Amino acid sequence: MSSEKGESKPMQTKNKILIAAISAVVVVGVALGIYFGVHNKNNSNSVTPPGQNGTMINGTLFPYYTLTGPAPAPVGVAGMVYTTCKTPNTFSISFDDGPSEWTHELLDLLDKENLKVTFFVNGNNQGCIYDPKVQSILKRAFQSGHQIASHTWSHPQLTTLTVDGIKTEMTRLEEALEAVLGVVPRYMRPPFGDGTFGNGNANDVKVQTTLKGLGYVITTWDIATTDADIDDNNVPHKLSDQVLMAKEQQQVTSVVEAGAKGATHMQLMHDTYMRTIRLMAPWSINYIKNLGYKMVPVATCLGDEDPRTWYKKIGPAAASTPTTCTK
């Protein structure tokens, strides 16, 4: 009996230690569960499925971006017209009027250079945004981390439209981009820059006031390569490659060299011209790199670095979309 009594004491001690250890594990587990439960709840819109690169926001994946916490307040001001970058040492290059048959080739170049740009897209200009081929290009650009911005539905001169006409141009493209990508842009560029030139001009005020009411940041440019003016995109070309590039490159260098050292710039090109993609875009990238600039999307160069601030609305894309632009 004495032997059994002598052994029960250490056994009780072992049991107490075991129970204490189990209790500690349970407490820690509960605490971790509470922490991660609250954490995930607070970031429920930022949970990314396993194996996918980027961050899921309200059902739309933002590849290449790790986004945590609430979105910051936007920096770009609705209704304000911006002609150049505000963040020091930045240079944005952007492409208007697409997507087009050449945009995939441009995206290949940008992937190779690991650069992000802004695409100011139309709904029905070079092609219908609902065309499956156009949708695939647009989705690739978005999924590659580029900023998608508005260039209106059909590329009109906005000053010639009524207020309702301007709204229709903007909201019709909004509907399409929300359906195809799940996002509605907060940034736009008026076709031809129309509506931004006249100081106090009534039609410009109409355009800017209407766009402000729709929540749009208005961006133009301080460098235009004038590719849309001097490249007819036909074969044979009116200008040789050498002459065309000399003219377009001079449009860039003249502005850069006339400005203060390190001055920021917004450069406009069009992804609807073969020679822009194959000749001018590669030259521009090398030229800007050699100047020591950081090349970023338009929104980023204005201070909106978080891509959530590039869009007014973010949600899942539509399960199905039209295939034509006719109603």
- 146, 151, 155, 270: which is the annotated catalytic residue? 270
- Distance, in Å, from the CA atom of 232 to the CA atom of 120, rounded to the nearest integer, reads 20
- Distance, in Å, from the CA atom of 87 to the CA atom of 294, rounded to the nearest integer, reads 10
- Distance, in Å, from the CA atom of 110 to the CA atom of 64, rounded to the nearest integer, reads 14
Active-site residue, 96 included: yes
The continuous run of DSSP H or E covering 187 comes out as strand 187-188
- 96, 97, 304, 306: which is the annotated catalytic residue? 96
Beta carbons of 159 and 194 less than 8 angstroms apart: yes
Token readout for 135 is 């949708």
- Distance, in Å, from the CA atom of 253 to the CA atom of 236, rounded to the nearest integer, reads 27
- Distance, in Å, from the CA atom of 301 to the CA atom of 86, rounded to the nearest integer, reads 6
- Distance, in Å, from the CA atom of 68 to the CA atom of 78, rounded to the nearest integer, reads 25
Residue 318's contacts (CB-CB under 8 Å, 6 or more residues apart) are 178, 179, 180
* 8-state DSSP, 69: S
- Distance, in Å, from the CA atom of 227 to the CA atom of 282, rounded to the nearest integer, reads 14
Strand 183-185, strand 311-314: pairing: antiparallel
Q: Catalytic site residues?
A: 96, 270
